[in-house]
Amino acid sequence: MRELEYPFDSEYLYHKKKTIRKQLLAQLEEKTSLQKKIAILGGSTTRDIKLMLELFLLQYGIVPVFYESEFNQYYQDAMFPNQELEAFAPDVIFVHTTLRNITEYPKMGDSPQQVEELLAAEYRKYEKMWDRLAAVYHCVIIQNNLEYPYYRLMGNKEASDIHGKVNYVTRLNLKFYEYAQRTDNFYINDINYLSAQYGLDRWSDPFYWHSYKYALCVPAIPELACSVAKIIKSVYGRNKKALVLDLDNTLWGGIVGDDGVENLVLGHETSAGQVYCDFQEYLKEYKELGVLLNIDSKNDYVNAIAGLNHPAGVLRPDDFIKIKANWDPKDRNLVQIAKELNLMPDSLVFVDDNPAEREIVRAQVPGAAVPEMPKEPAHYAKFIDRSGFFEVTSLSEDDRRRNTMYQENARREKEEAAFENYEDYLKALAMKAEIKPFAPVYMARIAQLTNKSNQFNLTTRRYSQPEIEETAADPAYLTLYGKLEDKFGDNGVISVVIGHQIDKVLHIDLWIMSCRVLKRDMEFAMMDTLVFACMEKGIREIRGYYYPTDKNAMVKEFYSLQGFDKIEEDEQGNTVWRLELTDGYEKKNRVIAVEM
């Protein structure tokens, strides 16, 4: 919904919040939306925060159910037995504390040791709270850091003097960050940055505290809520995965086919050319996060490549996974790029300076993100950045290598063309798989994969990292992860299976696989390993479940291909499958060497 995209109008959101909520709920697909229980523990009034947070989460396909603490009861709710909160069993706890909740500041006469003791005591209050929340609720925790004071008694010296409030807040924030760096499932909502971006004088307007006990101005609440929603949608796999970029007047100034490469506005010789260099540098940094870069341009291919090879350019042709430079409609190219990447179109962000092209893509490719771009190219990066399409809550080695993995896939496709027999091609890849029960080193990646996989996902179940860790520790569950590598490179962890045992039957709760390894028989290697693991545990039957969505039709007959018999099907197309295990089970994988 455009009203919730950057830049949004806070006043309009407040005025139309009920209408917007109703429209969002009507648009949600029941089978692809997530319901999550979110507890807000506030050190100040949180009513409007909850209302705005709901809108942004609905925009991301997450239906929230809320628990809200009483005014300034966050610490009591966190530290003491709370039957209501325990019964609520939150998936996410958001601790909304601010500068208003600092207990005590240094006094001018305090010695350095006294200041250190004061700082340590203030931090310990939070650390104990976070530790207890994690121990009792085993869920995702989001904690505000602290905004700066809206006045400075000592002026600039507030930042460097140990008695200054600015110095004290900075050091306390650093302790928050250190805790986040060593603690899984704990995330900082950076209101220190948000308040600076919004304008500290407006953000901290004391009128709203004294009148309503809001620790920030009411017009800024949508900014806060949007920031929290970005963290939650990232945790639950609702990030975008790829950028699809126009060329002319987007990556450079001018039209390469008309003006020629030599006349493009690009380079550090002029201020206008430097703007486009800076934007290219910004986009190239996304590769480090595993975001896939692609081109969708109305251009002759030769001219597009020449423009990308401009001597002053930052991005080069090999920085892109797919380059569609032709005269086809851009919406068709976008859909084709998604297909070739084995992604759904709603995983893509389309960036184009032309408002007409943007509108066509919005209309023809539902779900694809199309940010509204400013007229001034100097602000292109800001508009993409503030939209939060790629909010990072975890960053694995697989993420950092994703562009390389897709380029390796291109080499595999090229080699495939040289073989007449597909099985001979698979054998020539010299594939090796590691298939084992969940291991601590891969928990973050496994949780990430369960939330990001939509097409090869038979039950559409989603797991947070705490849930993955609990499942792995439960002897009633059988878990497997699969890693795959071949002569072209390592694909990392690309498949996950979770099942729970009842008597001598294993019920499969989750079976997912990354679409970048489709058609390489990894699913057969996983099945063989699962069968042998079941036999070792005395399991004599496996039950598989398929729940259809608008994205997972490709695995509708998955269990049939694995030798299961269909035993149930309802009117919605939900199916149940059974495989009886016997000593005569015949392995299906013939092309992958498996380490078990």
Nearest to 521 by CA among 389, 419, 433: 433
The answer, yes or no, to whether residue 557 has pLDDT greater than 80, is: yes
| DSSP notation for 258-309 | HH-GGGSB-STTSHHHHHHHHHHHHHHHGGGGTPEEEEEEES-HHHHHHHHT
Q: Which of 257-271, 388-402, 498-512 comes out lowest in average pLDDT?
A: 388-402
| Ranges for all domains in the chain classified under CATH 3.40.630.30 | 398-595
Q: What is the pLDDT of residue 203?
A: 98
Pairing label, strands 292-298, 322-326: parallel
Mean pLDDT (the chain) is: 95
| CATH of region 242-387, choose from 3.60.70.12, 3.40.50.10330, 3.40.50.1000, 3.90.550.10 | 3.40.50.1000
The answer, yes or no, to whether residue 383 has pLDDT greater than 90, is: yes
Distance (Å, rounded) from C-alpha 11 to C-alpha 222? 9
For the stretch 299-319, pLDDT in tens is: 999 999 999 999 999 999 999
| Ranges for all domains in the chain classified under CATH 3.40.50.1000 | 242-387
The pTM score is 0.87
Q: What is the pLDDT of residue 31?
A: 61
Domain range 2-235, CATH architecture: 3-Layer(aba) Sandwich (3.40)
> ∠ at Cα 500 (494, 505), nearest 5°?
115
| CATH of region 398-595, choose from 3.40.50.740, 3.30.930.10, 3.40.50.300, 3.40.630.30 | 3.40.630.30
Amino acid at 537: K
Q: What is the pLDDT of residue 334?
A: 98
Distance (Å, rounded) from C-alpha 533 to C-alpha 479? 10
The answer, yes or no, to whether residue 170 has pLDDT greater than 70, is: yes
| DSSP notation for 458-474 | SS-----HHHHHHHHH-
In this prediction, what percent of the chain has a pLDDT beyond 70?
100
Q: What is the pLDDT of residue 515?
A: 85
